[in-house]
């Protein structure tokens, strides 16, 4: 690795607050964001169709993050310094919001139109949108060229966003003399405790230097594979879940579609291609358990790579314990089968598909990790979709980052990454103070490694390969799927959820799919297929 990165990548000893990728910076454990009460809720209460409030929407956070050991033990919740920045906790809200989907269909469609954000274009880039973006392409390219020229003539360090773009352009042009000068100027202007662009800039600078030194893959795997002390990483993911609605949005959209499609089914098999901690299924299982016609038998096949056990605090057996506790508590038969494998390596025999069960397949922020035809001539990404199609599922749910970083050339990919993650860093900024150690840990452990991988890596080493909703729709259509419109009722529920965070979050319904955005930037897409 380059000498200038060693200080920030000594994974066992580095502890400098000036080091953007120091993995030991603020190593305090966050207590599990889970608590429980002895209150009992009747099925009628669970299936309440009352308008959700900001208080009630946050109820399920503690339940979703219940410790593996027991669903009935009381825990202390989030770190005290974090609790004051979050909405007031209550109980069982998502159940109240999701469960009405088991009742008669809500057919009213809520549509919201919004003009498309211009996308970056350059040589080798193919737009998968239907709109004609030629004018946007010309405008963006002229803007980048003018920024580059102005910056090289004497850009001040305060214009950090432009400075970072020029750094990427000089690196893209292999102009190392100017790059070395500009990157040092950028390095002196970034800070992991600064405003959103300064914080993001700290990781972008590390990514650019890593690209120059060809050390990006080492950094990515060091950050990804480091076994955290205790359950640190689990706590960081819980923190991100609490302060931003991204995961909640994806889980609610997918669960709503599944609940609606399986409302009358008695044998349900869910194949989850990234089971993680299994928290997505807690509220759905409780809603199914309270179904007026009785609880169905549910089988969950959880697929995850071995590295993810660190984010769970253990292997897939920990997920099995959690689901078993839910099964016992809510009196719903649940069977779990863990498959510790990378998604492209999964075969039909591993999935134990049974003909009498209704099959549902879930892809939660995972499919972009599977390489496509630009990396592997066998096209594992489309091959995985064809495998799923061969299983004849009743429903496939897809949640993905709405970003164009898969086949886009480096410079345009850098600008796209800056634009996308700046929106995320801005959204985090409204939830936690800039000097909060919890916020620093969330950004370091949950976001930095992805940023470095997108910027510094190429070929098979670049595994963070996001695509826009339009491209996912093309892939699924070519694989033989038809779109299954998401519930307009769930649309209204999620819109209520977003009001509890910030007025800058917005929800767009587009062609039966949903997109969660921050200001004018789409961040997460959710869609369902059959």
Cα(140)–Cα(345) distance, integer angstroms: 40
Q: Kindly tell me if the per-residue pLDDT of 291 is higher than 80.
A: yes
pLDDT digits (tens, 9 = 90+) for 3-13: 333 333 333 32
pLDDT at 230: 58
Structure confidence at residue 115 as a pLDDT band (50, 70, 90) = very low
Q: Kindly tell me if the per-residue pLDDT of 37 is higher than 60.
A: no
pLDDT digits (tens, 9 = 90+) for 51-67: 344 543 333 333 333 33
Q: Kindly tell me if the per-residue pLDDT of 97 is higher than 80.
A: no
Q: Kindly tell me if the per-residue pLDDT of 189 is higher than 60.
A: yes
pTM of the model: 0.74
Q: Are 242 and 479 in contact (CB under 8 A)?
A: no
Q: Kindly tell me if the per-residue pLDDT of 228 is higher than 50.
A: yes
pLDDT at 12: 33
Structure confidence at residue 45 as a pLDDT band (50, 70, 90) = very low
pLDDT at 202: 95
Q: Kindly tell me if the per-residue pLDDT of 127 is higher than 60.
A: no
Q: What are phi and psi of 83, to 5 degrees?
A: -55, -40
Write down how long the chain is. 530
pLDDT at 280: 92
pLDDT digits (tens, 9 = 90+) for 135-156: 444 555 555 555 544 444 444 4
More confident residue, 247 or 392: 392
Cα(473)–Cα(526) distance, integer angstroms: 11
Cα(461)–Cα(459) distance, integer angstroms: 5
Cα(361)–Cα(475) distance, integer angstroms: 16
Q: Kindly tell me if the per-residue pLDDT of 203 is higher than 70.
A: yes
pLDDT at 104: 40
* Dihedral (CA of 135, 137, 138, 143) sign: positive
pLDDT at 152: 45
* Dihedral (CA of 315, 319, 322, 324) sign: negative
Q: Which residues contact 223 (CB under 8 A, 6 or more apart)?
A: 21, 23, 445, 448, 449, 452
More confident residue, 196 or 313: 196
């Amino acid at each position: 690795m380059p000498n200038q990165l060693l200080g920030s990548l000594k994974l066992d000893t580095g502890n400098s607050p000036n080091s953007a990728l120091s993995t030991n910076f603020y190593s305090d454990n966050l207590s599990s964001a889970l608590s429980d009460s002895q209150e009992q809720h009747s099925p009628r209460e669970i299936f309440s169709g009352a308008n959700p409030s900001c208080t009630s929407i946050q109820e399920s956070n503690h339940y979703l993050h219940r410790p593996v050991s027991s669903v009935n033990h009381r825990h202390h919740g989030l770190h005290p310094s974090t609790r004051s920045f979050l909405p007031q906790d209550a109980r069982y809200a998502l159940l109240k919001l999701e469960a009405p989907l088991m009742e008669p269909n809500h057919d009213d469609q809520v549509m919201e139109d919004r003009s498309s954000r211009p996308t970056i274009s350059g040589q080798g880039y193919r737009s998968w949108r239907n709109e004609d973006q030629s004018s946007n392409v010309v405008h963006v390219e002229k803007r980048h060229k003018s920024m580059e020229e102005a910056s090289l003539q004497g850009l001040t360090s305060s214009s950090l966003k432009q400075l970072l773009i020029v750094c990427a352009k000089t690196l893209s042009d292999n102009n190392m003399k100017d790059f070395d000068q500009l990157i040092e100027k950028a390095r002196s202007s970034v800070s992991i405790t600064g405003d959103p662009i300064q914080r993001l800039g700290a990781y972008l600078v590390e990514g650019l230097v890593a690209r120059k030194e060809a050390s990006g893959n080492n950094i990515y795997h060091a950050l990804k594979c480091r076994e955290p002390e205790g359950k640190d990483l689990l706590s960081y993911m819980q923190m991100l879940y609490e302060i931003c609605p991204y995961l909640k949005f994806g889980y609610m959209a997918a669960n709503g579609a599944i609940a609606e499609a399986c409302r009358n089914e008695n044998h349900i098999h869910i194949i989850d291609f990234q089971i993680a901690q299994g928290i997505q299924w807690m509220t759905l299982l409780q809603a199914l358990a309270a179904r007026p016609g009785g609880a169905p038998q549910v089988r969950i096949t959880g697929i995850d790579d071995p590295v993810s056990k660190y984010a769970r605090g253990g292997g897939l057996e920990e997920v099995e314990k959690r689901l078993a506790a839910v099964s016992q508590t809510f009196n719903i038969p649940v069977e779990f089968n863990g498959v510790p494998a990378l998604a492209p390596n999964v075969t039909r025999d591993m999935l134990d598909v049974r003909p009498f069960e209704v099959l549902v397949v879930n892809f939660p922020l995972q499919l972009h990790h599977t390489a496509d035809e630009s990396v592997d001539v066998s096209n594992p990404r489309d091959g995985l979709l064809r495998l799923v199609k061969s299983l004849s599922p009743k429903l496939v749910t897809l949640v993905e980052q709405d970003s164009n970083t898969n086949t886009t050339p480096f410079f345009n990919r850098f600008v796209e990454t800056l634009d996308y993650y700046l929106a995320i860093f801005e959204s985090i900024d409204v939830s936690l103070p800039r000097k909060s150690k919890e916020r620093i840990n969330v950004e370091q452990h949950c976001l930095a490694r992805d940023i470095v991988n997108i910027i510094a890596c190429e070929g098979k080493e670049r595994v963070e390969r996001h695509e826009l909703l339009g491209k996912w729709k093309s892939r699924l259509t070519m694989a033989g799927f038809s779109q299954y419109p998401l519930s307009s009722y769930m649309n209204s529920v999620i819109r209520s959820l977003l009001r509890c965070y910030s007025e800058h979050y917005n929800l767009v319904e587009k062609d039966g799919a949903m997109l969660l955005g921050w200001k004018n930037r789409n961040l997460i897409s959710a869609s369902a297929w059959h």
